[in-house]
Amino acid sequence: MHSVINNIVKSTENRISKIKTDTGQKVNLKNTDEKRDIINAIKEKKKEKKVAVIAEVKPASPGKKLMDILPDDAARIAKEMERAGAVAISVLTEPEFFHGSTNNLEAVRKKVPLPVLRKDFIVNKVQFDEIESDLILLIAGILRNTLGKMVDLAISKGFEPLVEVHNKDELAEALKTNARIIGINNRNLSTLEINLDTTIKLAPIIRDFDKTNDTYHIIVSESGIYSIEDIKMVIEAGADAVLVGTSIIKSGDIYTKTKELVDALD
């Protein structure tokens, strides 16, 4: 792992230790009856010949501030994304490097009826009880041999786990789990370089696995999606959806950029 990723994980572990020791910590246990179904939402979006865009409320990348986003801002941005046709909203909750917050996630989930993904570095089961969301990101390269256990625990808590992979080994481990959604991260967490060829190489492996094993996985292409051409490339490779943050936030026009991506196949 790149030193930046290692630093984020260490910061997350420190954050978790504070959660464990804060007896006044308010936790929102997940009500499974209220989970919003992203899988059917993606299927419906595809039937409409539109791109299933999971649009991200993203204040920053490590070392690169995009914009200040407080809870009211997050809710407003998410509403624009919804209006533009986004299939779901991703909200960063990692505070130190991505300037996210669980307050932003809570504000978004109250404002829009779409499925909401919690985007964070989940490394401990205590994080499942921090805040309600419909989906939760689990990174195979970080969780390693605990991935299957964390997927099952997330499901038992009512979350839809989105398992993120970057290479064939991580994908093989992800396909052993009960996760229904596989995110292919085009960013290499060891070098932080981005290459859309990652989706082109890995998506067909998932399709072949499903055909052979009579299973079904939703494939989400993540990172490096900026243009209509990028969208077409990963969709043609087999992606069912894309997760886009930076290009939408940096555009200066949340609605117009989101709609451009949603309509990329027109």
Active site residues: 56, 58, 119, 164, 185, 222-223
Is residue 124 exposed (0-12), middle (13-18) or buried (19+ Cβ within 10 Å)?
A: middle
74-89 CB burial, b ≥16 within 10 A, e <16: bbbbbbbbbebbbbbb
Q: Is 193 helix (H, G, I), strand (E, B) or coil?
A: coil
Task: Give the Cα separation of 176 and 164 in Å (integer).
Answer: 13
Token pair in block for residue 23:
């007896």
Cα separation values, 174 from 5, 119, 155, 166, 186, Å: 20, 18, 14, 11, 16
Length of the chain: 266
